[in-house]
Amino acid sequence: MSHPAAEDEHHHADVSGGWLRAAVFGAMDGLVTNIALIAGVGGGGVAARQIVLTGAAGLVAGAISMALGEFTSVRAQNEQVAAEVLRERRELDRYPEAEAAELARIWQARGVPPELALEVATILGRNPEAAVRVHAQEELGVDPNDVPSPWTAAGSSFVCFAAGALVPLLPYLSGAASLPLALGAGGVGLFVAGALIARFTRRSWWRSGARQLLLGAAAAGATYLVGHIIGIAA
């Protein structure tokens, strides 16, 4: 009989599909980008309407840019994996014995007895699809049947960037034209986002939240200073 605690300890989060990384980077980029933009133009002394316009433009442009970047990078990565898997398939067709010996050497390096490693690798070669999958995993470090979706990565990045970028704009959109309030809302968003990331990484939630808050504050401080200097000079 299995123990519930043991089952929970051996349960792993789903880290495949490419959505988590894109969502995390999208939300953080959206928060930091718009907090910094709003701090910069606000430091320059512009009117609330201009701050909203800048923030809205940053939200739309950034979300589209992030989505296109994620789609392109994930698709390019998948195409590279497909090309390498095709090459591995051809080598298995042409040189089955050499490929079996290569796989056996990999397993031997991990402590499998030489005779057993070669025997298993040879038997595996009789199943072409299984052989391609195992060779790709062992030699390339990828599972050709479990590659991330570029559409999922792009969609999650777009939505999460837009959601993050919207947070510091909310006070202005609700009628409270206050730069400190907008930056405060952005700071809360950064801390919450950092704390949520800790749920997946199993790190300290308050440390993760504080780290994101400090990084965002540094970016906002730098852009506010630049905007203030330019505003005075103008």
Looking at residue 111, what is its pLDDT? 92
pLDDT digits (tens, 9 = 90+) for 169-202: 999 999 998 999 999 999 999 999 888 888 777 7
Q: Does residue 198 or residue 76 have the better pLDDT?
A: 76
The pLDDT of residue 130 is above 70: yes
CA distances from 45 to 89, 116, 137, 152 (A): 63, 74, 56, 40
b/e burial code for range 130-144 (CB count within 10 A of at least 16 → b): ebbbbbbeeeeebeb
Mean pLDDT, the chain, as a whole number? 88
From CA 45, how far away is CA 28, in angstroms rounded?
A: 26
CA distances from 171 to 27, 61, 111, 183 (A): 18, 21, 61, 9
- Across the range 208-215, mean pLDDT stands at 93
What is the chain's length?
234
Looking at residue 234, what is its pLDDT? 64
Phi and psi dihedrals of 158, rounded to 5? -60, -50
- Across the range 93-122, mean pLDDT stands at 93
223 close to 40: Cβ distance less than 8 angstroms? yes
- Across the range 195-222, mean pLDDT stands at 89
- Across the range 122-140, mean pLDDT stands at 90
pTM given for the model: 0.80
Q: Does residue 217 or residue 18 have the better pLDDT?
A: 217
- Packed helices 205-233 and 179-201: angle between N→C axes, nearest 10 degrees: 150
